[in-house]
A = this chain, B = another copy of it.
């Protein structure tokens, strides 16, 4: 029987861009020497799906042969559904770590909340699976993922080398879109208060009826020098530790004192 410390960790990989995207292929390539990789990812783009789950309709899964010897499944669900299906129906156990991405496009600042990539990672964390989401600041299909692959390998191997891993560990890693030698290092950051200022693009269909496209301009309202946006603007990789307890404990104390509702 193999000793525990020589057993390969099981690495679950998912994303939100879909199972055929170059980003997830790069993630698989970056970590396949670090454990036994299993891929469970959506069969269509799921960007901006946030923490959506599929309640009103059933889910499908199909085995895919996209990554050589590596076991891979596509599902009809959201990124969060993929994590749930992987644990309950494919692995029949919790993987040792869950990796999500590499996303085509930034998931820093407030984007963590809208991101299917990060929601999949958060779902794993809720389930007690250490988890990391990776995003490259280049939304293009043919973005250059080579520098990202080196960063991913460095981050994941550092984490896997920890003796005792926090089972709820959840990291949001964003990588600047520059050549590897221009990356200045890895910075532990907080989530910036930076967001899109929305405007809807209003158009008329051929029947003369209005329809609206969501669009917007990204604005950083955060002056802190430890925010992810700050770090990325200076060509650092940003690592934001994330939590799923959304309680605002400061406001909780204030409200308890205020006796507002008594």
Contact = CB atoms under 8 A, between A and B. Distances in A.
Contacts of A81: 214
B185 A262 contact: yes
A34 interface: no
Interface string A181-217: 0000110111101010011101100000111111000
A179 interface: no
Contacts of A113: 51, 122, 126, 244, 246
Interface in A103-127: 110, 112-114, 119, 122, 126
B191 A53 contact: no
A220 interface: no
Contacts of A52: 48-50, 52, 114
A198 B86 CA distance: 11
Given A49-B52, A114-B51, A198-B88, A248 B241 contact: yes
Contacts of A203: 58
- Most B C-beta atoms less than 10 A away, residue of A188, A199, A202, A242: A188
A193 to B, nearest CB: 7
Interface of A: 45, 47-56, 58-61, 80-81, 84-85, 87-89, 110, 112-114, 119, 122, 126, 154-155, 158-159, 162, 166, 169-170, 185-186, 188-191, 193, 195, 198-200, 202-203, 209-214, 239-249, 251-252, 255-256, 260-262
13 contacts: A49-B52, A51-B119, A52-B52, A58-B213, A59-B214, A61-B212, A81-B214, A158-B261, A162-B260, A170-B248, A240-B247, A243-B246, A246-B246
